[in-house]
């Protein structure tokens, strides 16, 4: 209870990039989850939505969320990305926290090559994506080195992502992941998580949500300690998926 | 050929009868499948025997209601109509509608046909017949795991429209996506819509499709929204704009009943839900476009009982129960608006399944504005169905506590026992049939 007092002065700002374009598959759930889990702990939380032509001051952001969009919409975003690339890269190298989902994950890399053309990425993480035969769709369960609780979600992507020597977000226990046969899903680079998991990702994986919040607090205030919450409903929903598809 | 056709019709009828009696299911798609297996050309032959117009209804939401209403409107004017009433809208279901309507001789006696078709299935149905009219209700985000992005659905619909260049498209002009599609395909089109602002949707934060011009990619400017992306719009850069509306609904009343004026005629119906204005208007426009005067349209609406889980009412013991289908964010948000129009205290049960026909991805729950239940005079919320856990979490993150009971019958019985006597059951697609069966049985048991 004693960190109640310090909580009052702690606050994080979430930057939601281009929700007008990248808003497939319940990204709002990820924002709601980040916000509520701060608010329930008495940590101030604010979300700033950036539209395509807005200036982004990364020094004012503690967590950046880059969501998914259709290929067409991703193409529109990618034209804009060149303008923010350097500032975004500086933020990442300075341990800025990023959660990039689906299309957002693909945009972290060098490029996404589709039948219709090349979508140039942000080149924040050394990875690339190629369109494959058919889409990889279904429930997915991972074991991540970052957490004890498995990570559960839903994937739906036509791209196959190659992460080279980077660490994956997790090992695939059920589902596809980065490509059909790699056995790996997503990427973790510094405080960046890139993943195909939506569903949305964070509500059924409070451990991932808290990891993001903790990293952001650590970077900003030097300590990422978090008061525990009653996660029984979250964990029950997580366990349901795990048991249905893995056990 | 005739014998083969007869055999197909007989087998399909037998299959349907057997499945109804033995399995207590409607058996429609099974019947269609068998008929097509025996006589692959049966759909082409029977469709060609329809004497007058063939209407098809496509679009994300409102297909079944619009199609059944159009059928009822035509019947009210004395037409004999073939219709896939149950909403079986893939190739087998479409074939079944024709086959089961045929006589034992294998011939069809019908003036017109009203057929709803799943958008992705249009490609499989169009080779068999070219409709005279396609009603396009709207395009919303739905089952992304099955259909992919809306762009893919639009490409399919454009392809089939162009394969039937004489087919007239009856399009909701308030939907920028549908309107663009009708213009882009090059088919003749007829528009319906609502020019006046009806609702205050400032409390709604739903994700809207069609924020960008499909023609040039620039942002669209909206004068106002009715709901979702339906509204009055124009492109900020190119010449794309909302088309002139030929069948405009004005002086709209939305509440415990609906009323509006079109072509100087006052239309009234004893339903709730703003979206039903669009359904009625679509059916009206299609029937009028085909040249009918529709003197019996209001009588038809007064007698129209969808009996298909769209705002269907039941009474169990002392509890009034309203069952309504809600299978995507646009539909669910409209459902919540309809619940809010009932200002009395109510219990709510939400049933969410993730079977193949529902879409196995339940992320869309997070795109629904459930927080509006806080202003809806709700006594309690119970979550049920296969993915009740996801639903409970969804509500938790807008600070709405809920009871969890995976079994629908138990959930309903508990609320009938302990609830406030006014119960809304909101269900997604596969939950509809099982829930409806439970409610019908409970109603009869009393």
**What does the pLDDT look like over A16-74, one tens digit per residue?**
998 878 877 678 899 999 999 999 999 999 999 998 889 999 999 999 999 887 777 77
Residue B104: exposed, middle, or buried by beta-carbon count in 10 A (0-12, 13-18, 19+)? Answer: exposed
Which sign does the torsion angle of CA B198, B60, B219, B234 carry? negative
Phi, psi at residue B303, to the nearest 5°?
-95, -10
Please name the member of A28, A36, A237 whose beta carbon is closest to the beta carbon of B366. Answer: A28
Tell me the H-state helices in A40-102: 71-93
Which 3 state secondary structure label does DSSP give A182? coil
- pLDDT reported for residue A22: 82
Please name the member of A28, A154, A234 whose beta carbon is closest to the beta carbon of B361. Answer: A154
Last residue of a domain, one of B243, B276, B303: B303
Retrieve residue B69's tokens.
């209403």
Higher local confidence (pLDDT), B429 or A7: B429
Question: Would residue A33 show up in a list of annotated catalytic residues for this protein?
Answer: no
Last residue of a domain, one of B303, B335, B352: B303
Q: State whether B294 and B377 are in the same domain.
A: no
- pLDDT reported for residue B260: 97
Residue B12's pLDDT band, with cuts at 50, 70 and 90, is confident
Domain boundaries, chain A: 3-245
Note whether B221 and B171 are within 8 A (CB).
Answer: no
CA-based nearest residue to B207, from A61, A13, A185, A18: A18
**B38-88 pLDDT tens trace:** 999 999 999 999 999 999 999 999 999 999 999 999 999 999 999 998 888
Taking the CA of residue A154 and the nearest CA in chain B, the distance in Å comes to 7
Distance in angstroms (rounded) separating the CA atoms of residues A166 and A125: 8
Q: Quick one: angle between helices B275-289 and B63-76, nearest 10?
A: 40
Retrieve residue B151's tokens.
């762009």
Last residue of a domain, one of B303, B321, B341: B303
Distance in angstroms (rounded) separating the CA atoms of residues A11 and B381: 33
Q: Which residues of A touch B (CB under 8 A)?
A: 20-21, 23-29, 32-33, 36, 70-73, 76, 135, 137-139, 154, 156, 198-200, 203-204, 233-234, 236-237, 240
How many independent structural domains does chain B possess?
A: 2
Q: How many residues does chain B have?
A: 446
CB contact under 8 A, B389 and A237: yes
Note whether B193 and B182 are within 8 A (CB).
Answer: no
Q: Is the pLDDT of residue B3 over 90?
A: no
- pLDDT reported for residue A5: 46
Q: What is the mean pLDDT of chain B?
A: 92
Q: What is the mean pLDDT of residues B234-260?
A: 95
Note whether B161 and B80 are within 8 A (CB).
Answer: no
CB contact under 8 A, A24 and B144: yes
Q: Is the pLDDT of residue B381 over 60?
A: yes
Please name the member of A29, A73, A234 whose beta carbon is closest to the beta carbon of B366. Answer: A29
- The rounded percent of chain A whose pLDDT value lies above 70 is 96
Higher local confidence (pLDDT), B308 or B183: B183
Q: Which residue of B has its CA nearest to A237?
A: B389
Distance in angstroms (rounded) separating the CA atoms of residues B194 and B253: 12
CB contact under 8 A, B363 and A72: no
Mutate to test the interface with A, among B364, B389, B401, B403 (most CBs of A within 10 A): B389
Q: State whether B148 and B279 are in the same domain.
A: yes
Q: What is the mean pLDDT of residues B259-278?
A: 94
- The rounded percent of chain B whose pLDDT value lies above 90 is 74
What CATH number does the domain containing B141 carry?
Answer: 3.40.1190.10
Residue where the block lists tokens 């049920």: B384
Please name the member of A32, A138, A139 whose beta carbon is closest to the beta carbon of B397. Answer: A32
What CATH number does the domain containing B377 carry?
Answer: 3.90.190.20
CB contact under 8 A, B363 and A200: yes
Mutate to test the interface with B, among A20, A29, A31 (most CBs of B within 10 A): A29
- pLDDT reported for residue A1: 40
CB contact under 8 A, B393 and A26: no
Between A and B, how many CB-CB pairs are < 8 A?
Answer: 76
Q: Which residue of A has its CA nearest to B356?
A: A138
Q: Which residue of B has its CA nearest to A52?
A: B219
Collect all residues of chain B within an 8 Å Cβ-Cβ radius of residue A26: 363-367
Say which of A33, A38, A102, A184 is annotated catalytic. A102
Collect all residues of chain B within an 8 Å Cβ-Cβ radius of residue A199: 361-363
What is the number of alpha carbons within 13 Å of residue A211 lying toward its C-beta? 22
Q: Is B96 within the bounds of a domain?
A: no
Which 3 state secondary structure label does DSSP give B313? strand
Q: State whether B351 and B317 are in the same domain.
A: yes
Q: State whether B293 and B222 are in the same domain.
A: yes
Q: Is B6 within the bounds of a domain?
A: no
Note whether B415 and B382 are within 8 A (CB).
Answer: yes
| Cβ neighbour number for residue A225 with a 10 Å cutoff | 10
**A123-161 pLDDT tens trace:** 999 999 999 998 899 999 999 999 999 999 999 999 999
Retrieve residue A162's tokens.
């190659």
Q: Which residue of A has its CA nearest to B389?
A: A237
Residue A3's pLDDT band, with cuts at 50, 70 and 90, is very low
The ipTM is 0.93
CB contact under 8 A, B145 and A137: yes
Q: Is the pLDDT of residue B199 over 90?
A: no
Mutate to test the interface with B, among A18, A25, A78 (most CBs of B within 10 A): A25
Higher local confidence (pLDDT), A69 or B259: B259
Note whether A181 and A159 are within 8 A (CB).
Answer: no
Say which of B109, B270, B361, B407 is annotated catalytic. B361
Collect all residues of chain B within an 8 Å Cβ-Cβ radius of residue A27: 366
**B315-372 pLDDT tens trace:** 999 999 999 999 888 889 989 998 998 999 999 999 999 998 888 999 999 989 999 9
Q: Which helix (H) or strand (E) holds B83?
A: strand B81-83
Tell me the H-state helices in B89-169: 91-101, 122-125, 144-147, 150-163
- pLDDT reported for residue A2: 41
CB contact under 8 A, B150 and A70: yes
Note whether B206 and B198 are within 8 A (CB).
Answer: no
- pLDDT reported for residue A21: 80
- pLDDT reported for residue B20: 65
- pLDDT reported for residue B255: 84
User: What fold does the segment set A3-245 form as a domain?
Assistant: Rossmann fold (3.40.50)
Please name the member of B211, B212, B363 whose beta carbon is closest to the beta carbon of A26. Answer: B363
- pLDDT reported for residue B144: 66
**B124-165 pLDDT tens trace:** 999 999 999 999 999 988 766 666 678 889 999 999 999 999
| Cβ neighbour number for residue B123 with a 10 Å cutoff | 15
Mutate to test the interface with B, among A31, A45, A115, A237 (most CBs of B within 10 A): A237
Please give the residue range of the domain that contains residue B262: 52-84+109-303
Question: Would residue A184 show up in a list of annotated catalytic residues for this protein?
Answer: no
Q: State whether B208 and B277 are in the same domain.
A: yes
Q: State whether B123 and B260 are in the same domain.
A: yes
Q: What is the mean pLDDT of residues A223-232?
A: 95
Q: State whether B344 and B297 are in the same domain.
A: no
Higher local confidence (pLDDT), B16 or A7: B16
Q: Is B93 within the bounds of a domain?
A: no
Q: Is the pLDDT of residue B201 over 70?
A: no
Please name the member of B212, B367, B393 whose beta carbon is closest to the beta carbon of A28. Answer: B367
Q: State whether B201 and B155 are in the same domain.
A: yes
**A109-120 pLDDT tens trace:** 999 998 888 889
Phi, psi at residue B403, to the nearest 5°?
-95, 145
- pLDDT reported for residue B111: 97
Q: Is B44 within the bounds of a domain?
A: no
Q: State whether B281 and B378 are in the same domain.
A: no
> Which residues have C-beta within 8 Å of that of residue B40, sequence separation ≥ 6?
none
Collect all residues of chain B within an 8 Å Cβ-Cβ radius of residue A204: 390, 393
Q: What is the mean pLDDT of residues A8-15?
A: 90
Q: State whether B275 and B418 are in the same domain.
A: no
Q: Which residue of B has its CA nearest to A201?
A: B363
Q: State whether B228 and B347 are in the same domain.
A: no
Q: What is the mean pLDDT of residues B156-180?
A: 97
Q: State whether B230 and B159 are in the same domain.
A: yes
Please, which contacts does B340-344 make with residues 24 or more away whose CB atoms are closer than 8 Å?
A: B340/B372, B340/B375, B340/B376, B341/B254, B341/B255, B341/B256, B341/B272, B341/B273, B342/B256, B342/B272, B342/B422, B343/B377, B344/B377, B344/B422
pTM of the model: 0.86
């Amino acid at each position: 209870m004693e960190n109640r007092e310090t909580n009052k002065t702690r606050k994080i700002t979430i930057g939601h990039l281009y929700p007008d374009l990248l808003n497939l598959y319940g990204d709002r759930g990820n924002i709601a989850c980040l916000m509520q889990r701060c608010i329930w702990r008495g940590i101030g939380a604010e979300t700033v939505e950036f539209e395509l032509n807005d200036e982004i001051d990364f020094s004012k952001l503690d967590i950046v969320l880059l969501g998914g969009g259709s290929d067409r919409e991703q193409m529109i975003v990618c034209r804009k990305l060149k303008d923010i690339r350097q500032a975004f890269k500086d933020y990442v190298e300075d341990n800025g926290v990023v959660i990039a989902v689906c299309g957002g994950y693909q945009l972290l890399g060098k490029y996404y090559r589709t039948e219709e053309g090349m979508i140039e990425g942000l080149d924040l993480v050394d990875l690339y994506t190629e369109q494959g035969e058919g889409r990889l769709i279904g429930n997915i369960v991972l074991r991540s080195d970052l957490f004890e609780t498995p990570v559960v979600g839903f994937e739906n992507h036509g791209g196959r992502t190659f992460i080279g020597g980077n660490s994956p977000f997790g090992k695939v226990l059920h589902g596809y992941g980065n490509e059909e046969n790699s056995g790996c899903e997503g990427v973790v680079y510094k405080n960046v998580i890139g993943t195909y998991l939506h569903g949305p990702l964070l509500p059924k994986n409070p451990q991932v949500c808290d990891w993001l919040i903790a990293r952001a607090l650590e970077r900003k205030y030097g300590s990422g300690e978090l008061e525990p919450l009653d996660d029984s409903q979250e964990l029950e929903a997580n366990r349901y998926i795990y048991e249905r598809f893995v056990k | 050929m005739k014998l083969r056709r007869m055999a197909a019709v007989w087998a399909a009828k037998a299959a349907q009868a057997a499945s109804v009696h033995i399995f207590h299911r409607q058996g429609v798609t099974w019947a269609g499948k068998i008929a097509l297996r025996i006589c692959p050309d049966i759909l082409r032959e029977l469709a060609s025997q329809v004497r007058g117009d063939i209407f098809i209804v496509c679009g994300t939401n409102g297909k079944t209601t619009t199609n059944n209403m159009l059928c009822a409107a035509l019947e009210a004017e004395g037409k004999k109509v073939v219709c896939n009433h149950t909403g079986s809208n893939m190739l087998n279901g479409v074939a079944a509608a024709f086959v089961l309507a045929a006589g034992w001789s294998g011939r069809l006696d019908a003036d017109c046909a009203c057929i709803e078709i799943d958008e992705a299935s249009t490609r499989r149905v169009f080779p068999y017949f070219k409709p005279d009219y396609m009603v396009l209700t709207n395009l919303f985000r739905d089952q992304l795991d099955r259909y992919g992005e809306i762009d893919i659905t639009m490409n399919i619909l454009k392809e089939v429209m162009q394969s039937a260049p004489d087919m007239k498209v009856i399009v909701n002009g308030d939907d920028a996506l549908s309107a663009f599609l009708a213009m882009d395909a090059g088919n003749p089109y007829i528009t319906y819509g609502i020019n006046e602002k009806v609702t205050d949707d400032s409390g709604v934060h739903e994700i809207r499709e069609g924020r960008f011009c499909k023609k040039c990619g620039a942002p669209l400017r909206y004068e106002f929204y009715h709901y979702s992306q339906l509204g009055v719009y124009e492109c900020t850069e190119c010449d794309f704009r909302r088309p002139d509306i030929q069948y405009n609904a004005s002086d709209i009343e939305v509440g415990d009943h609906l009323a509006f004026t079109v072509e100087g005629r006052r239309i009234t119906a004893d339903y709730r839900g703003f979206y039903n204005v669009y359904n009625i208007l679509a059916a009206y426009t299609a029937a009028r476009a085909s040249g009918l005067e529709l003197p019996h349209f209001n009588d038809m609406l007064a007698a129209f009982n969808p009996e298909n889980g769209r705002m269907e009412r039941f009474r169990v013991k002392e509890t009034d129960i309203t069952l309504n289908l809600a299978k995507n964010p646009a539909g669910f948000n409209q459902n919540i608006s309809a619940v809010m129009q009932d200002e009395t205290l109510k219990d709510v049960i939400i049933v969410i399944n993730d079977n193949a026909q529902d879409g196995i991805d339940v992320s869309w729950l997070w795109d629904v504005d459930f927080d509006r239940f806080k202003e809806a005079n709700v006594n309690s919320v119970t979550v049920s169905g296969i993915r009740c856990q996801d639903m409970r979490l969804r509500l938790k993150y807008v600070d709405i506590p809920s009871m969890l009971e995976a079994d629908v019958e138990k959930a309903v019985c508990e609320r009938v026992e302990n609830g406030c006597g006014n119960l809304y059951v909101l269900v997604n697609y596969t939950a509809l049939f099982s829930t409806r069966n439970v409610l019908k049985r409970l109603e009869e048991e009393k």
